[in-house]
């Protein structure tokens, strides 16, 4: 039984390994960490930790929110979601916006990347009666964030 199954199992395991290893991120990803929100209501900038986000370590980012003409946007409520689009999983933690550090600057805490590859970070922003979303792509390799 074991003998007859193992060759095909080995092949399946090998193929699965190859597919995972070879799923390179799309080459046309927008890797910018500052851009307009989807409908242009805000300009959003993500600042990673100065030392770069190390794999498997909890860390914090900052989110800078402004109007299109550069005025800081205070008292926004920002929901965070994201994960690895090619792997179908989210973050291993529950990152969230915890507080406004200074006008228009928000702390994104509880971040942790569990592996290298392409991650997306999605923000749902509401300020007053204006709502908009922003999506960022981060490609991580052993050296940090690919630019
Ligand atoms: Cu993954």
What are the structural domains of the chain? 27-145 (2.60.40.10)
Mean pLDDT for 105-128 is 97
Kindly give the distance from the C-alpha atom of residue 18 to the centroid of ligand 1, in angstroms, as a whole number: 14
- pTM, two decimals, is 0.84
Kindly give the distance from the C-alpha atom of residue 119 to the centroid of ligand 1, in angstroms, as a whole number: 8
How far apart CA 94 and CA 83 sit, in angstroms, is 11
Does 4 have pLDDT greater than 90?
no
The residue ranking higher by pLDDT, 11 or 96, is 96
Kindly give the distance from the C-alpha atom of residue 99 to the centroid of ligand 1, in angstroms, as a whole number: 28
Q: How confident is the model at residue 107 (pLDDT cuts 50, 70, 90)?
A: very high
- Alpha-carbon dihedral 17, 20, 23, 25, rounded to 10 degrees: -150
Kindly give the distance from the C-alpha atom of residue 81 to the centroid of ligand 1, in angstroms, as a whole number: 15
Kindly give the distance from the C-alpha atom of residue 10 to the centroid of ligand 1, in angstroms, as a whole number: 22
Mean pLDDT for 82-106 is 98
Kindly give the distance from the C-alpha atom of residue 110 to the centroid of ligand 1, in angstroms, as a whole number: 17
The pLDDT value recorded for residue 143 is: 87
Mean pLDDT for 59-82 is 98
Percent of the chain predicted with pLDDT > 90: 79
Mean pLDDT for 54-83 is 97
Kindly give the distance from the C-alpha atom of residue 120 to the centroid of ligand 1, in angstroms, as a whole number: 11
The pLDDT value recorded for residue 14 is: 54
Does 9 have pLDDT greater than 60?
no
Q: pLDDT digit string (tens) for 29-62?
A: 999 999 999 999 999 999 999 999 999 999 999 9
Kindly give the distance from the C-alpha atom of residue 145 to the centroid of ligand 1, in angstroms, as a whole number: 15
Cite the beta strand spans of 59-129 per DSSP E.
59-66, 77-84, 89-90, 96-102, 105-111, 117-127
């Amino acid at each position: 039984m074991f003998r007859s199954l193992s060759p095909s199992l080995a092949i399946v395991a090998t193929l699965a390994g190859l597919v995972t290893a070879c799923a390179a991120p799309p080459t046309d990803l927008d890797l910018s960490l500052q851009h307009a929100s989807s409908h242009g209501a805000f300009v959003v900038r993500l600042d990673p930790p100065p030392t770069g986000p190390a794999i498997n370590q909890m860390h914090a980012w900052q989110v800078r929110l402004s109007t299109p003409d550069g005025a800081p946007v205070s008292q926004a409520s920002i929901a965070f979601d994201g994960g690895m689009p090619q792997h179908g999983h989210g973050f291993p933690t529950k990152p969230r916006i915890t507080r406004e550090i200074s006008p228009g600057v928000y702390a994104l805490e509880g971040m942790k990347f569990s592996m290298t590859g392409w991650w997306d970070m999605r923000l749902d922003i509401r300020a007053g009666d204006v709502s908009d979303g922003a999506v960022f792509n981060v490609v991580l390799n052993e050296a940090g964030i690919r630019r």
